[in-house]
Amino acid sequence: MALVIETGAGVAGANTFVDSTFADSYFGDRGVTAWTGTTPAKESALIRAGQYLNGLNWLGSRVDYTHVMCWPRYAVPVADYIASGRNAALFGEAMYGMYWPSNVVPIPVQYAQCESALRYLTGVDMMPDLDRGGYVLQQEAAVIKTVYAGHAPAGTVFTAVRALLRPFLKSSASIDMVRS
């Protein structure tokens, strides 16, 4: 399947926010050597990473509900630490007032797709099927025993991806309020 890049313009049929050249540069700048393989393998990983991102609980609303990709979006607030200017080089001209413009895909979202694609490329499924929802209370194997806290997430937490996306995602404890 060919990559169709969502640029923020609401590209019909889009399945990624970045191409393999962008990801190659991203990982090259960071000295990550695990991003290897054929271009088709990298592109497949990018498409899977896009699917993962589409399943997250984003702030705001998609500009066009008929498009599969989770960006571009309306009404996504710019986080305070971003607006302070400390990260201006990373976020650049994407900032507009107190909300992200509805015609961009923020750079941290693109970086998060790269990080997610790396996991897929190296054999980590970020959306695995979970037996009984993944709510393990106790696991024993010979002398090894695992017991998770009651509030532990059902699956692996991908901290590098979540750190990049924190300003764009809803808290698991948040609720949407609508004025009638």
Report the pLDDT averaged over residues 32-54.
97
Which of 4, 23, 21, 169 is CA-nearest to residue 110?
A: 23
Task: Collapse the DSSP code of 26 into the 3-class scheme (helix H, G, I; strand E, B; otherwise coil) and give the result.
Answer: helix
**pLDDT for 23 beyond 70:** yes
**pLDDT for 144 beyond 90:** no
| Model confidence pTM above 0.85 | no
**pLDDT for 151 beyond 80:** no
What is the 3-state secondary structure of 86-144? CCHHHHHHHCECCECCCCCCCHHHHHHHHHHHHHHHCCCCCCCCCHHHHCCCCEEECCE
Domain assignments of the chain as residue spans, ordered by start: 20-168
For residue 129, what pLDDT is reported?
Answer: 76
Report the pLDDT averaged over residues 105-124.
96
**pLDDT above 90: percentage of residues in the chain:** 52
At 87, the pLDDT band (50, 70, 90 cuts) reads low
Report the pLDDT averaged over residues 121-127.
93
**pLDDT for 81 beyond 50:** no
Report the pLDDT averaged over residues 101-128.
94
**pLDDT for 88 beyond 60:** no
